[in-house]
């Protein structure tokens, strides 16, 4: 057996021990109860940007669509096969996810191919990357003085924004957005820095992802011998009490 395949087999054995070791393992519960992921993630097929790995997710947490350059086509009714659109329909209409996250990444090979090479127009790749032609033109008109790497990353940003717009052309996504029961996000993974950025539609910029519900941990308890009756009134203590409630 080839070395790379042996490596996969070893990983599979580890997976079995971790997820099938007990009768009522979390995986067995997922099989019994069915999947109920709340988040649909659209990511690139790039081998370095596995969403479950980056977000430290367990089986059942993410419904993932991966394709070259994490592109979303517009809503189209025709006789062609639409893999990404079909998966979107399944996630939104069947599973009823509450969030869709588009996740791009820096140094995307799809964006690089779009900007540098001329894929065979009759091939699948060239046709697929046509979806990002507008982003490519936008990049060329705004990238004076940028290095090639910076152009690739800029095109990735533009493409995420364009895919975000395309998502809203699907009627069942537009309906859920109007109801307020679905939220769209555009994130970008900076592979060099190892950070996630999020797109802010208000300011139209990408900035490091913040956790809006993050509650700073309470300060460590004050040693008994240093406490006094007045300490309960101090701000640090009040924060501690609020956290404990
Ligand atoms: Zn990519």
Buried b (16+ CB within 10 A) or exposed e, 65-104: bbbbbbbbbebeeeeeeeebbebbeebbeeeebeebbbbb
Q: Looking at the structure, do residues 239 and 162 belong to the same domain, yes or no? A: no
User: Mean pLDDT, to the nearest integer, of 124-140?
Assistant: 95
Inform me whether the pLDDT recorded for 14 exceeds 50.
yes
Task: Over range 160-171, report the average pLDDT.
Answer: 98
Map residue 183 onto helix, strand or coil. strand
How many domains does the structure of the chain reveal?
3
Same domain, 23 and 96: no
Tell whether the model's pLDDT for residue 241 goes beyond 70.
no
Compute the 3-state secondary structure of the chain and give helix, strand, coil in percent, each to the nearest 5. Answer: 50, 15, 35
Nearest to 189 by CA among 63, 64, 51, 41: 51
For 185, the domain range is: 36-214
Tell whether 203 and 225 lie within a shared domain.
no
133 alpha carbon to ligand 1 midpoint, in Å?
16
In terms of phi and psi (left: phi > 0; alpha: psi -120 to 50; beta: otherwise), the region of 3 is alpha
Report the pLDDT value the prediction gives residue 225, as an integer from 0 to 100: 62
The per-residue pLDDT of the chain, averaged, comes to 88
> What is the per-residue pLDDT across 15-35, written as a single tens digit (0 to 9) for each?
999 898 877 888 888 999 999
Q: How many residues does the chain have?
A: 245
Return d(Cα 240, Cα 32) in angstroms, integer: 41
pLDDT, tens only, 53-68: 999 999 999 999 999 9
Question: From the CA of 40, how far away is ligand 1's center (Å)?
Answer: 18
- Tens digit of each residue's pLDDT (9 = 90 or more) over 71-113: 999 999 999 999 999 999 999 999 999 999 999 999 999 999 9
Query: Are residues 21 and 86 both part of a single domain?
Result: no
Contact predicate 156/106, CB 8 Å:
yes
Reported as a pLDDT band with limits 50, 70 and 90, residue 130 is very high
Whether 94 and 176 have beta carbons less than 8 Å apart is answered as no
Lowest mean per-residue pLDDT among 68-82, 149-163, 223-237 = 223-237
CA of 110 to the centre of ligand 1 (A): 5
CA distances from 58 to 63, 122, 162 (A): 11, 39, 30
What is the predicted pLDDT for the residue at 244?
A: 34
Specify whether 72 is located in the same domain as 173. Answer: yes
| CATH code, domain carrying 93 | 3.40.1050.10
What's the CA gap between 181 and 178, in Å, rounded? Answer: 8
Could you count the other beta carbons within 10 Å of the beta carbon of residue 53? 9
Rounded to the nearest angstrom, the distance between the alpha carbon of 45 and the centre of ligand 1 is 6
Q: Band of the pLDDT at 217, cuts 50, 70, 90? A: low
CA 36–ligand 1 middle distance (angstroms): 27
What is the distance in A from the centroid of ligand 1 to the CA of 104? Answer: 7
**Ligand 1 centroid from CA 66, angstroms:** 10
16-25 burial code (b ≥16 CB/10 A, e <16)? eeeeeeeeee
């Amino acid at each position: 057996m080839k070395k790379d395949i042996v490596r996969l087999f070893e990983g599979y054995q580890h997976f079995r021990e971790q997820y099938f070791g007990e009768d009522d393992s979390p995986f067995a519960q997922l099989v019994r109860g069915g999947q109920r992921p709340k988040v649909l993630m659209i990511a690139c097929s790039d081998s370095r940007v596995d969403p479950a790995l980056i977000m430290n997710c367990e089986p059942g947490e993410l419904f993932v669509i991966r394709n070259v350059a994490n592109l979303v086509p517009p809503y189209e009714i025709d006789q062609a096969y639409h893999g990404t659109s079909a998966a979107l329909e399944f996630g939104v209409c069947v599973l009823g996810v509450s969030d869709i996250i588009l996740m791009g990444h820096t140094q995307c090979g799809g964006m690089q191919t779009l900007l540098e090479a001329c894929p065979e127009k009759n091939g699948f790749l060239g046709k697929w990357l046509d979806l990002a032609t507008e982003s490519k033109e936008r990049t060329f008109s705004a990238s004076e003085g940028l290095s090639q790497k910076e152009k690739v990353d800029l095109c990735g940003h533009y493409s995420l924004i364009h895919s975000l717009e395309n998502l809203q052309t699907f009627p069942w996504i537009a309906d859920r957005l109007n109801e307020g029961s679905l939220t769209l996000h555009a994130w970008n993974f900076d592979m060099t820095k190892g950070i996630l950025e999020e797109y802010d539609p208000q300011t139209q910029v990408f900035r490091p992802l913040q956790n809006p519900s993050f509650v700073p941990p309470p300060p460590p308890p004050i040693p008994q011998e240093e406490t006094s009756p007045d300490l309960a009134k101090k701000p640090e203590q009040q924060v501690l009490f609020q956290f404990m409630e």
